[in-house]
Structure 1
Amino acid sequence: MISIDSDTVQKAVQLDMIPEGKNISEKIDHLFRHEYGKLVSVLTKTFGPSNMDLAEDVVQEAMYEALNKWTYQGVPKNPVGWIYKVAKYKAVNTLNREKYKREYASEVAHHLQSEWTAEPALKHIFTDKEIADDQLRMIFTCCHPSISSDSQIALTLKTLCGFSIPEISKAFLTTDENINKRLVRARKIIKEAEIPFEIPMGKALEQRLNSVLEAIYLLFNEGYNATTGNNMIRYELCEEAIRLAEMIANSPAIKSKNTYALLALMTLNSARFNSRIDAFENSIPLEHQDRNTWDKDLIKKGLYYLEFATTQNEISLYHILATISATHCTAPTYESTDWESILSLYDLLIQMDKSPIVLLNRAIVVSKTANPQRALEELNKIKDDPAFRSYLPFYTSKAELHFQNKEPKIAISLLYDALKLPLEPKFKSLINSKLQEYSKKN
């Protein structure tokens, strides 16, 4: 079976396989990000969760057909409708071809095998309401407690959000091989345990929702600080994460303040997009950002979500992170930022999440409340953590602290170490710019 993902499109553009260039690649990538999860969800209900891999194959075949035909025939007026039509009939053909090979749990599948009932069945399963409901069922199926937490998130990112395996591995700071193993294990468990395609109730809902929100948060982070591609921000990933969170928040069956806290965090961070990069796609540090370009409406929306999220005596990781973001968003200037409050929030955060990245971020805040030397002492406590061996922000943050501590030679050495990492060109460019800056003052 031929597979296509966003990486396939990007490689095709690089190899000049697409005559119309960026236009078609962007159309495909947009469709892949926004429609892939919807189609896989609908077809997973159709084929049954034990045949999730078959649903993915059908959608990927439809995407591949779009890439081939649109390259030579142009993009149709209704590209989404085109993809859906192709996916529908590929699903029918697949059912007819494999009806004696597989067992399908869905009653819908039975209707699709008859030419008399296929058309009304297709109309029903592809309505907006059914698609939205199936996406909710899909995300909770991926996060079933029988599946390990790391595999839950990997499966969600792959099937519902259209992540490629390299994108997931970078989000987890692990290898492609590990992610592939997690996906294989997860699909095997779904099949063997006959996990139902449904939204759980009661305590089971609360338990699974935590993993669902973590997957959405990782999706947003990959867009906010893109690890792949040429752009520093991948706006569509951030939009997709917010869309999924809003879908959960708007569901009458799911009532969770944590969802609104996550929405607050993502909305407040999105409000600063316009100031985070310059015209040449270079990252602009927070202290140099033009706060006049921050989206005031999004800040108000984020603050509203945060206020709604705190109406109960419940504090989650997302509540704390959203409050940190709100503190930045409401500071009139960088110099007036309430760093003491932010440090207190990080102290609270590490009681819930003592991950290396949280400790790194806290150390950076210490440099604001105390001095760079004190922050470096904090970093030295975690410098041997394996997660930092290939984590670029550790090298660049530590280099900046040494530079602030009037140790430019050490800072330069750290940046040269960073250049040895497998980096995208955009990151190498940033490091080289910093090297020039440090060298001038060496």
Structure 2
Amino acid sequence: MDTTASTPMGDPAATQRASQLVEHFFRHETGRLHGALTRLLGTHNLSLVEDVAQEAMMKAFRAWSFGGPPANPSAWITQVAMNLARDALRHRKMSFSKEGNIITHFEQTVAAAGAGGAGDATADVDADFRIRDDSLRMLFVCSHPSIAADAQVVLALKVLGGFSTSEIARAFFSSEAAIEKQLTRTKQRIAEAKLAFDLPEGAELAERLEGVLATLYLIFNEGYKASAGEKLLREELCREAIRLTLLLVEHPAGKSAQSHALLAFMLLTAARFPARVDEQGDLLRLDDQDRTKWDFSLIERGLVQLAQAAQGKTLSEYHLQAGIAACHCMAPTYEATDWARILRLYDDLQSIKPSPVVAMNRAVVVAHLHGPQAALDAIAAMPQRERLESHYLLHAIVGELNHRLGQHEAAVKSFRRALQLAKVGPEQTHLARMLERSEGLSQSG
């Protein structure tokens, strides 16, 4: 969210605090707010939903910069969104009865928020087949089977997670223009087809589960390795993905082997966060991490989820990724890592979900088992390698492999290209050190 367009002439420190708080709420409140607005304004008004939510956040930024945040920011933003939506409805000359219903529902939502989210016994009717959380409801809404799978994920990231077009483009290795066009087409498709995005009940929910899992995975991945900015980790996104996935596995429609496997992957991966960067926020590679800082309670929870995932007959990509994460977590030292087992898991993953990213990660494992030249050969043979040419990590891996082979000029070239492509501060710092190292060795050699 860009809050720089209308910066008030106030205390700079207060303005910065307000900007940070609004950014925090934009990430955390977007799904709930968009979910409520979509249910009330209709799926044919998705663009209006986004405009109302964005304007509400901008009003919060301006107001909080001067007077500080209110006691209940969530209720405050919801009230503002209610007023904006009411104005928009009147402007569009919608029917009085429909407007009245919408405003009444908004007012009930605000009242519930002001009461601290107190539960209503009537809301628990058919609880086994109804999802009460707006964010999770929105995930299923965006995963309508009439929308193409990739478009489901893009739409959910935009309207649920508050992702910018550029963030989504980097997540998909695409361009901003292509993502913007896809979003526009998807919204037009929804409006023209008048798709009913009312949450279905019972087993019908399971039909949308694949898209929901894919979206949760991408949200977690964006938090695990931010696509831009000064922070490598965006733990709030990871926590939100874990929260939603926990909610999913507790629902009958979402309580599947794949859901448990995805949750296991998230927990096992998040367990290593405390050791992933140093005190300055700089990147620490796996072999440099202090494993005593890992969160062993998360590892235990992840292994429990992995055991539950194994009870089904399905073997999904999430099972295999969770298995890889478990191998890392179970190794007492870096040297004790079972690279042979990890390679087998990557082979299985490449067979059921082939992608250049999987092939690239597999090549790193090949280097541990068979040496850097074998890894370079594997990268050269990768299918669709051209899709990763704009991804810094490919060039960073090639640079490191050439460094290990003593091919320092080639390493310099690869590290320089990786540094040009890197968007995150800690990664840029790490790559600059690797480039400086290789340049020194190249000159001395």
TM-score (norm 1): 0.89
Whether contact under 8 Å (1:47, 1:55) holds in the other structure is yes
* Shift of residue 164, structure 1, vs aligned partner: 0.7
- What one-letter code is carried by the residue in structure 2 that aligns with 1:76? P
Moved more, 239-248 or 355-364: 239-248
Shift in alpha-carbon separation, 1:232–1:121, aligned structure 2, 3 A: closer
Q: Which residue of structure 1 aligns with residue 178 of structure 2?
A: 178
Whether contact under 8 Å (2:82, 2:103) holds in the other structure is no
Q: Which residue of structure 1 aligns with residue 55 of structure 2?
A: 61
> For the residues of structure 1 that align with 2:75 and 2:103, how far apart are their CA atoms?
22
* Shift of residue 239, structure 1, vs aligned partner: 1.2
SS of alignment partner, residue 281 of structure 1: coil
Aligned residues: 429
SS of alignment partner, residue 351 of structure 1: helix
Moved more, 194-203 or 32-41: 194-203
Whether contact under 8 Å (2:317, 2:349) holds in the other structure is yes
Q: Which residue of structure 1 aligns with residue 314 of structure 2?
A: 314
> For the residues of structure 2 that align with 1:118 and 1:53, how far apart are their CA atoms?
19
Q: 2:80 aligns with which of 75, 86, 89?
A: 86
Shift in alpha-carbon separation, 1:423–1:59, aligned structure 2, 3 A: closer
Whether contact under 8 Å (1:58, 1:91) holds in the other structure is yes
Q: Deviations over 1:359-412 (max 9, x none)?
A: 000010001111111111101112862211210000001111111122222111
Q: Deviations over 1:15-42 (max 9, x none)?
A: 9995425422221111111111101101
Whether contact under 8 Å (1:140, 1:198) holds in the other structure is no
> For the residues of structure 2 that align with 1:92 and 1:264, how far apart are their CA atoms?
43
Q: Deviations over 1:105-128 (max 9, x none)?
A: xx97542457xx874576479967
Aligned positions of 1:247-326 closer than 5 A: 247-326=247-326
Q: RMSD of aligned C-alpha atoms?
A: 2.7
Aligned positions of 1:27-426 closer than 5 A: 27-100=21-94, 109-112=99-102, 119-120=107-108, 123=111, 132-200=132-200, 205-382=205-382, 385-421=385-421, 423-426=423-426
- What one-letter code is carried by the residue in structure 1 that aligns with 2:381? K
SS of alignment partner, residue 282 of structure 2: coil
Whether contact under 8 Å (1:96, 1:113) holds in the other structure is no
Q: Deviations over 1:257-281 (max 9, x none)?
A: 2111111101111110111011222
Moved more, 420-429 or 83-92: 420-429
Q: Deviations over 1:306-325 (max 9, x none)?
A: 11111111111001000100
Whether contact under 8 Å (2:31, 2:159) holds in the other structure is yes
SS of alignment partner, residue 232 of structure 1: coil
Moved more, 277-286 or 69-78: 69-78
* Shift of residue 423, structure 1, vs aligned partner: 3.7
> For the residues of structure 2 that align with 1:16 and 1:145, how far apart are their CA atoms?
48
Whether contact under 8 Å (2:248, 2:254) holds in the other structure is yes
Shift in alpha-carbon separation, 1:122–1:234, aligned structure 2, 3 A: closer
* Shift of residue 138, structure 1, vs aligned partner: 2.1
Whether contact under 8 Å (1:36, 1:162) holds in the other structure is yes
Whether contact under 8 Å (2:139, 2:156) holds in the other structure is yes
> For the residues of structure 1 that align with 2:118 and 2:163, how far apart are their CA atoms?
23
SS of alignment partner, residue 350 of structure 1: helix
> For the residues of structure 2 that align with 1:205 and 1:356, how far apart are their CA atoms?
31
- The alignment-based identity, stated in percent, is 38
Whether contact under 8 Å (2:228, 2:423) holds in the other structure is no
SS of alignment partner, residue 367 of structure 1: helix
Whether contact under 8 Å (1:41, 1:135) holds in the other structure is yes
* Shift of residue 202, structure 1, vs aligned partner: 6.9
TM-score (norm 2): 0.89
> For the residues of structure 1 that align with 2:418 and 2:193, how far apart are their CA atoms?
45
> For the residues of structure 2 that align with 1:271 and 1:108, how far apart are their CA atoms?
48
Q: 2:17 aligns with which of 16, 20, 23?
A: 23
